[in-house]
Chain A
Amino acid sequence: IEQGLCFAADIISTVEFNYSGELLATGDKGGRVVIFQHEQESKNRPHLRGEYNVYSTFQSHEPEFDYLKSLEIEEKINKIRWLPQQNAAHFLLSTNDKTIKLWKISERDKRAEGYNLKDEDGRLRDPFRITSLRVPVLMPMDLMVEASPRRIFANAHTYHINSISVNSDHETYLSADDLRINLWHLEITDRSFNIVDIKPANMEELTEVITAAECHPHQCNVFVYSSSKGTIRLCDMRAAALCDRHSKFFEEPEDPSSRSFFSEIISSISDVKFSHSGRYMMTRDYLSVKVWDLNMENRPVETYQVHEYLRSKLCSLYENDCIFDKFECCWNGSDSAIMTGSYNNFFRMFDRNTRRDITLEASRESSKPRATLKPRKVSTGGKRKKDEISVDSLDFNKKILHTAWHPKENVIAVAATNNLYIFQDKIN
């Protein structure tokens, strides 16, 4: 894997490729969205083939203050999801804790000149002075990329939104908070359908929350949501208006020998992603990534240990709150590999076919152009080999929570706090 690029920003909170992989969107803690575009290959400068450059930057969300609750609403972008492209413009959904916005990103490379009613400065002409009419002409101009908010979906979530997911019908999407999931139509902003509600009548009885939700990539009536107790529920919207009864319930039985006071916390699922094929789904809990066959509910078909060496450190990680970190995971385009982040700016990739795994580090040291990333290893006790790093030396402030994989090529985007790294596989 070769090094690509590194961009510095505010703390990055979400990373997402669009359907073609041409665009890569990042959202940050300051409410900004930065979109990168994959440069076309250039025969003149072959070494720049496939670079990503900044395409558009805009402020998506602003901080708000809820006067009734005396609370701030953070402008941090929790998730970005692209809509499939239907015309020249690009559309994406971005959300903070409370409000989802649909943004249109369009290019403007032509400008009309020769207006009748206003002159080139834009000043209005006196209509009585106009003696002849002309047809305005489109002249080329420097490319301008504009982002404009087209829809604002607000006031539908009492709790913090953790997921949004565009449906395969391309007309609806779901948004999930800690206790409820709503279904929206992209054209309608003043109402949404509540399709899941796990809020208990008595809040004191609350023991489980929704942690993530996603629509099935092909079946527009199917979606899943994961919980803080390590369960996943698959729901069919055709069954009932309120999908409180799941169609399928996925849970791996607990291993009684490894039970501890932290068992529930580390079983909490931080991310759920369908495979591109729609046959599998992947879940991320604190220590592992699991691949589930949608036809088998009682256990995952594959389990990958991300950083098992942390199991003996759970008490410290509880103390410093790292145990609550929400790591995401992603599939590659062909579903043959999966990727997720870890600490110390490490991220892990697992090949499902060969069962090989690799640990890589996203750091400035290795960010020289065309440098090859070196595999890293954490020594798990005993003698520490050269080049290995011991568990106690890991920097738990450097966490890679957000990663994304190009839908078609071997290009990955890794967010390390406030740096975005883009790596490409050059097989030449």
Chain B
Amino acid sequence: MFTKGTKRKFSDPGEEPASSGDPGPAAPSAAARTLSSSYSLQRQSLLDMSLIKLQLCHMLVEPNLCRSVLIANTVRQIQEEMTQDGTWHIMTQALAAAQCPADRLVATEVLCRQTDAAAQAGQSPKPFSVVGLQEGYHSEEVVMEGDVETEVTMSSLSPLSPQLSSASYLTGPFEVGPCWEEEDEEEDHSESSEPSLMSEHSRHPALEELFSDVDPSYYDLDTVLTGTPKMGPYDLLESLSSHGPTALSSSSSCRSDLNELDHIMEIIVGS
């Protein structure tokens, strides 16, 4: 997939492993495996880099929507390819199994959500929509996928670690809140999903250093990555007269929950 001659020398698509079914040159299987593993590594690295970029969308100024969309699309492409390879499922399983709070790697839990519709349609996994690293804000019902509790490993950003080999945030079908959380989403959504999210988080003993360093507003369900709290339907007239009423109550309750959580985590982690 990566073009030839890129700095990291990605392998040619034609040399991809068996899934392509391409007769191809009769390369020694070991070499082919090496090439493909190198490709996988680089693809994984690109995935990690992309997720970090989306995560760092949080700024005082609204992040660039175009950039976020392009990065999200890139992540989606990678996910699709990895799904076709079968490596996506393997990776998520591996992450679920490996629960090791190493120095920089702390496991956190994110719901692996699958909409009813998707489950019925039998498609799996649901294509990656957008990454909301802190929160899985979503508008549909939360359904646990079987009995598999997927986990996500993230590397801490402080100190900034370039090596993110196992820092894969995405875990199978999910609906994570978009980093361009829209402003005219109804208030019901947050209220229904909030409790479940909170319970998921509180179940998990270890929390990233990242979260403890980060301003609690990151956890705001409404802000996710764009920092845009939920508003009533955006209406030109409404905004001209005055800013419409906004759903700040739900976000503030979420905020206090997270502050509490933060506090607990700090105690546990002992920072």
A120 partner residues in chain B, CB cutoff 8 A: none
Q: Nearest-CB distance from A361 to chain B (Å)?
A: 25
B77 partner residues in chain A, CB cutoff 8 A: 261, 264
B62 at interface (Cβ–Cβ under 8 A)?
yes
Segment of A30-38, A203-211, A328-336 engaged in the interface with chain B: A203-211
A315 at interface (Cβ–Cβ under 8 A)?
yes
Segment of A153-161, A393-401, A409-417 engaged in the interface with chain B: A153-161
Q: Are A315 and B228 neighbours in the complex by a CB distance under 8 Å?
A: no
Q: Are B7 and A206 neighbours in the complex by a CB distance under 8 Å?
A: no
- Contact partner of B66 among A69, A205, A209, CB < 8 A? A209
Q: Are A228 and B69 neighbours in the complex by a CB distance under 8 Å?
A: yes
- Contact partner of A209 among B65, B74, B129, CB < 8 A? B65
Q: Are A207 and B2 neighbours in the complex by a CB distance under 8 Å?
A: no
Q: Are B240 and A155 neighbours in the complex by a CB distance under 8 Å?
A: yes
B214 at interface (Cβ–Cβ under 8 A)?
no
B227 partner residues in chain A, CB cutoff 8 A: 69-71
Q: Nearest-CB distance from A310 to chain B (Å)?
A: 11
**Closest residue on chain B to residue A207 by CB atoms:** B73
A70-88 interface bits toward B, Cβ cutoff 8 Å, 1 = contact, 0 = none: 1111100000000000000
A315 partner residues in chain B, CB cutoff 8 A: 2, 6-8, 46
Q: How far, in angstroms, from A312 to B5 measured CA to CA in the complex?
A: 5
B7 partner residues in chain A, CB cutoff 8 A: 312-313, 315-316
B125-160 interface bits toward A, Cβ cutoff 8 Å, 1 = contact, 0 = none: 000011000000011000000000000000000000
Interface size for A (C-beta < 8 A) is 47
A344 at interface (Cβ–Cβ under 8 A)?
no
Q: A68-B229, A71-B60, A265-B70 are in contact. Are A155 and B236 (CB under 8 A)?
A: yes
B185 partner residues in chain A, CB cutoff 8 A: 203
**Closest residue on chain B to residue A268 by CB atoms:** B70
Q: Are B246 and A68 neighbours in the complex by a CB distance under 8 Å?
A: yes
Chain B residues in the interface with A (C-beta under 8 A): 1-8, 10, 13, 43, 46, 49, 53, 60-62, 64-67, 69-70, 72-74, 76-78, 129-130, 138-139, 175, 177-178, 180-183, 185, 217, 223, 227-229, 231, 234, 236, 239-240, 243, 246
5 smallest beta-carbon distances between A and B, as pairs: A203-B182, A204-B129, A312-B5, A178-B65, A155-B239
10 example contacts (A-B, Cβ-Cβ < 8 A) are as follows A69-B183, A156-B236, A158-B183, A179-B65, A259-B1, A260-B2, A260-B6, A260-B10, A268-B70, A321-B53
Known: A206-B180, A261-B46, A324-B67. 18 other contacts (CB 8 A): A68-B246, A70-B227, A73-B61, A155-B239, A191-B236, A191-B240, A203-B182, A204-B129, A209-B66, A228-B69, A228-B70, A259-B1, A261-B1, A264-B77, A268-B70, A315-B8, A321-B67, A324-B70
